Structure 1
C-alpha cells in the first residue's frame, strides 16, 4: 500500500496499524518507507513498531495491533508505503477485500494462492468493479482509478455503499475441507449458528431455581417469557473478544457461567435467556443480525461476516400481536428480543432493525427472515406548548413532550445517561439553542417503559420569545423548538442515497395574546405531500389564543441520489413554513 500525502493535514495516513489475534495469528514481517519530494528515503522495520490492545474496553480480548508511525518524516508531497505479512490460523474460509476509501485509489490488488485441490470464488458486492486474473494456482484481482467515497448527511451505513469483494475458499475434486467452515448457502450459515449456540444453553440448577422464582405468580406464557426477558436484560453487558479465529466471536459461554457471574456479551445474554426459556418449555433460537442497521444485508453472499450481533427469536402463538413479530414459512411466528438493548421494552425492537433482515439459527431455515417496517405512528413525538405571552415579549411556558416507540427509546437513552443536573442543563440548552433565552427550568419525567412511552414536562420563563418592534408590534415564531430540520445541514447535491426513517412528529403551540394586542398577520395553511413524507401546518385564533399546529409524517424510504431535488424541494417548503412568524399589533387607544 502506498499513499501520496499532498497536504500536511492528511499526515495521519502515514501510520500503519496491523491487526492480529494472540495465539492464532502473527505479524511475521513488516516494512515501510517514506519518500520525500527531494528523493530522500526513510526506512522502517520491526524495531520501529509496537503492539497495543486494539479494544481496551473489552474485559477479555486477544485482539492486538502492531503499529508504526512515520508522521514525523512527512513533508508535502511525500509518499508513504508499506507491506506486511500476517500468518493466521482460522476455521473460516471467507475473506473480505474492501476497495474504495475516503481518498482516491490508483490501484488496489489482492492475490490468493489456495492449497492443491482448492479453488476461490469471488463475489463482488455493492457494485464492486474488479478485473480477475489467474495464473496456475494463483488467483488475483485488481481495481484501478477508484474515486473517493465519503459519507454524507443521511446516507446509509458505510457497508451499504462501499464496494467490496467477498471471497470463498472451497475444496474441489473431492478434497477434504478439514476443520474449515464452508458457507455456500444461508442454510450453511444458520447451521453454523446452531452448532455454536445451542450446546451452550443447558440450564444449571441455579438457573432453574431463578426461573421458578421469576415466573412465580405469572399465569400466561407471554407473561412468563417477559419476566425472563427482562432478567436477561439486567445482566451486565461486557465485551468479550477471545478465540475469534476459531469461531469464538460466535460461540457464547455456557449459560450457567453467564448466570453465575451476571455479565456477558450479546451472545452470552442470548444464551442465558434461551436456557431460561427452555425451563418453561418455550422454544427459542439464536438470531444473527447487523447491529448498526439491519436493512443492509447482501443476500448474494451467505456469510456470518455480514452480522455482528446476536439476539433471540422466541416461538409464539399464531394469534400473537406485537411490534417485534416476524414470520418464517417453516418456523412460524416468532418474537424477536434483544437482551443487550436495556432501554427497549419487551415486544419491541430498536428502530435500526426495522425493515431489515435477521438470520434465525435453525437447521430448517433457507435464508434471512425479513423484519417488518414500523409505521410512522409507532415511532412518534408529540409536543404541546402553552405559552403565556407578555407585552414586552417575555413569556411563561409549559411544554409537554410525549415520545412513543423508537422515539421513546432515544429520549429514554438520553435521560438515563445523564445525571439530574446534566439533564436539566441539556434541556435548557435545547431551548436556548433555538435563540430564545430561558430561566432555570423545572422538569418532570414519566418513563413508562412497558408502554414504550416516555413523557417529559418542562416549565420555565422565556425572554425574547416575542420581539418588540417600535413598541407597536410583537413578532414571534411559535415553532422555535426545532425538529432538527434536515435542511440545516444539507448540501446542494449528493452522490449517495438518503435514508428517511419511519417517524411521526406533531406539535401544537398555544400562545395567549397579551392584553392590548391582536393578531395582525400570520402565514396561510400549508399542505405538502410526496410518496415519502406529508407535512401540514395551520394557524387559528381561538378565544384570545393563537393556536399553531404542524405535523410531519415520514415513511421509511431510501431515496436515490437522482431524487435529491425532490427531497430538497419538500424540506425547503417545510423549513420555510416552520420559520414563518406571527405578527401581533398593539391596539391603538
Structure 2
C-alpha cells in the first residue's frame, strides 16, 4: 500500500477550522452538519483525532482531540471528560471548550485542575485506581464540546481499540487513528467494518499506520441485534511483544499469550502445610474424583467471599493461595487460583481459565490473539465430562456456569501456554421455565390465583437476585413483574430447594378484580395468564444488524381455570401450532366439567440469522403475540 505521512492533530484541526471559515461561519456551527448525520443522533462527532505512539514494548502514549456536538439531553455524557490513573496509566487533561449552536465559545476549562477521586465500588476492597472527571454542566442544546487529553502507558499488555460510534445514536463526520512504532516493532491489528484498509509506511526508523472514517451515520438500537461493537467500524489493536512490571510476553499466538498469564500465576498456588494435610485426608475419605471435587468446591464456597482487588498488576495477577487461605477473600483470579491450589493438593489436574463474562458478551475474536477477557474461572478436564467451576459465588451450584459464562470461548492456561476451548452450552431442556396456575373465577369475574413456577438454568440466573434480596424488595419486584389486571399479591415464597441444582421455585397467591369481563349473560375470559409476547414494530427502514437469538429456552405454562357455577363454553378454539427457524409455539385447550385447562408451550431456538430474515421473525413473533391475546366466551346456562 502507498504511504501518506500522517498530519498532526494541530494540522487536522487547522483544516477543520479553515473549512468553517471559508463558509463564513464558525466551524462548530450546528447548521454546517449534514442533516443525514443528525438523523436519529443524540451526538455528532465533528472530528476525532487519535495518535498512539509506541516507543517500546513497555512505553506508549495516546493523544486525543475531538469535537462532539451534543444534540439533546440523552447525548450529554459525550461532553464529559473522564480519566483514570493507576500504576501503569496516567491521564493528562488538556482542555475542554464549549461552543453554542452558532459555534461561539461560551466556556473554557483550559486551566482547570482536576483532583483525582478514590472510589471503591460495590465489592472492591482496595484499589490504586484514581478517577478524574469534568462535567461542563452545559444544557442549552445543541452545543459542541471540544475535548483534548493525553494518556501515558507505563507497561501494557493490551492496547485501546478504536471504535467509531461505540454507542447507539452517535454519528461521526471525520475520524482518524494514527499509530507510530519503532520500525522493528510488531503491531497486531484486526479491521472490522472499515470502509478502507490501513495505510502504512516507514520513515526514519519509524513505522506508521493510519485509518480514516468519514460520514458514519448513527445507529439505532434494534431488536435481537448483535453487540454494537460488532456493527461499528473498528480497529482492534494488540502489542506483538509487551512488557508490564518487568513481566514480558507476546500476543503472537494464543499459546504465547497464555504463557504470559501462566508466568503471572507461577508459584502462587502454594497452601499452608496444615491445609495440604487436611486435603490429603479428605482425598482418602472420598475415592470418587467427582465427589472429592464437589467437596473441595463446597469448602471453598463456605470459606471465601468475593472482593475486588485492583492494585498494580494485581488487576491481572491473582493473590497467592496462602493469603486467600489466611484472609478468606479474593477476586475472581484469586479464588480460581485458590480452588486450583486445593485441587493440586488433592492430586487433581485443573486449569485456570480467563473468559469474557456477561450474559450478552460479544463473541471472542478467536483469529486475533489479544486480551479479550474480564473474568477468571476454573476448568477440571475429565472424561467423559469436563467440570467448570465459577469460584466467586457462595450460592452457585457445583459445575454450573450459567448465562454469565456459558457457551463461549475461554483461554485455558496450561503447562504449554494458552489454549482456546468452549464452555458448556445449556439447551432448551435446561433453560426452562415451567409454570402451573389454578385460577378460581367467581360470578363477578374476580379471581383467586395460586401459581407455582420453576426457574431453571437461564431463568434461575434471572431469579437469583430476587431470591437473595430482602422481603420488601422481593415483594416489590414480584408485584411489578406480574402483569395481571387488578392484581393484589396476597402472599409469596421463593426458595432454592436443592443448593446443588440451578432451580428456583416461586409460589404466589394473588387476588384480581375483573380478570374476566361480564357482558349480560356472558363472560369473556383471557386464557394466557402470565407469559405474553409483545408484538415487534414493523420494519419501516432498512435494518443494520443480523438477527441474534443467544440461547435456547423453553417455557411451559399450564393454567387451570375453575369456572363459576352455571357457566359453560359459548365458543370453541382450535389449538395453535407454529414452527419456524426461530422457535416453535403451540397451545391446547381442554374443557371438563367446570374446569378449563389452557396449556402453552414456547421454545426459542439459538441462532444467528441474516438481516433479510428479520421480516420472517417479525411475522412469527407477531403470530405468537396474537395467539397470546386469545380470549374465550363463557355463557351462563
RMSD: 2.8
CA distances 1:193-232 after superposition (whole Å, capped 9, x unpaired): 2212242111123532553676685442111111211233
C-alpha distance in structure 1 between counterparts of 2:281 and 2:193, whole Å: 50
Structure 2 contact 262–413 (Cα < 8 Å) conserved: yes
Structure 1 contact 202–256 (Cα < 8 Å) conserved: yes
Q: What SS is found at the alignment partner of 1:393?
A: coil
Partner residue in 1 for 2:400? 348
Structure 1 contact 533–555 (Cα < 8 Å) conserved: yes
Tell me, which stretches of 5 or more residues in structure 2 are unaligned?
1-65
Structure 1 contact 399–458 (Cα < 8 Å) conserved: yes
Tell me, which stretches of 5 or more residues in structure 1 are unaligned?
173-177, 321-333
Partner residue in 2 for 1:325? none
Structure 2 contact 536–618 (Cα < 8 Å) conserved: no
Partner residue in 2 for 1:328? none
Structure 1 contact 294–355 (Cα < 8 Å) conserved: no
Instruction: Kindly indicate whether residue 485 of structure 2 is the aligned counterpart of residue 435 of structure 1.
Output: yes
Partner residue in 2 for 1:68? 134
Q: What SS is found at the alignment partner of 1:199?
A: coil
Structure 1 contact 538–548 (Cα < 8 Å) conserved: yes
Structure 1 residue 127 displacement after superposition: 5.4
Taking the TM superposition and a 5 Å limit, the aligned residue runs for 1:437-586 are 437-443=487-493, 445-470=495-520, 472-483=521-532, 485-487=533-535, 494-500=543-549, 501-586=551-636
Out of 202, 205, 216, the residue aligned to residue 146 of structure 1 is 216
1:402–1:81 CA distance, 2 compared to 1 (3 A)? same
Instruction: Kindly indicate whether residue 249 of structure 2 is the aligned counterpart of residue 181 of structure 1.
Output: yes
CA distances 1:453-506 after superposition (whole Å, capped 9, x unpaired): 222222333322211112x111111212125x2537887664323432211100
Structure 1 contact 201–255 (Cα < 8 Å) conserved: yes
State TM-score, norm by structure 2.
Answer: 0.81
C-alpha distance in structure 2 between counterparts of 1:29 and 1:456, whole Å: 52
Out of 69, 74, 94, the residue aligned to residue 4 of structure 1 is 69
Q: What SS is found at the alignment partner of 1:487?
A: coil
Partner residue in 1 for 2:457? 405
State TM-score, norm by structure 1.
Answer: 0.87
Identify the range of structure 1 (74-83 vs 98-107) with the bigger mean alpha-carbon deviation: 74-83
Structure 1 contact 468–475 (Cα < 8 Å) conserved: yes
Instruction: Kindly indicate whether residue 444 of structure 2 is the aligned counterpart of residue 392 of structure 1.
Output: yes
Instruction: Kindly indicate whether residue 349 of structure 2 is the aligned counterpart of residue 298 of structure 1.
Output: no
Structure 1 residue 392 displacement after superposition: 1.3
Q: What SS is found at the alignment partner of 2:112?
A: helix
1:210–1:560 CA distance, 2 compared to 1 (3 A)? farther
Structure 1 residue 126 displacement after superposition: 5.5
1:497–1:41 CA distance, 2 compared to 1 (3 A)? same
Instruction: Kindly indicate whether residue 374 of structure 2 is the aligned counterpart of residue 308 of structure 1.
Output: yes
Q: How many residues align?
A: 559
Instruction: Kindly indicate whether residue 235 of structure 2 is the aligned counterpart of residue 165 of structure 1.
Output: yes
Partner residue in 1 for 2:121? 56
Identify the range of structure 1 (144-153 vs 105-114) with the bigger mean alpha-carbon deviation: 144-153
CA distances 1:418-472 after superposition (whole Å, capped 9, x unpaired): 21233234333433x32242352243635323133222222333322211112x1
C-alpha distance in structure 1 between counterparts of 2:158 and 2:529, whole Å: 56
Structure 1 residue 163 displacement after superposition: 3.7
C-alpha distance in structure 2 between counterparts of 1:260 and 1:222, whole Å: 26
Structure 1 residue 52 displacement after superposition: 2.1
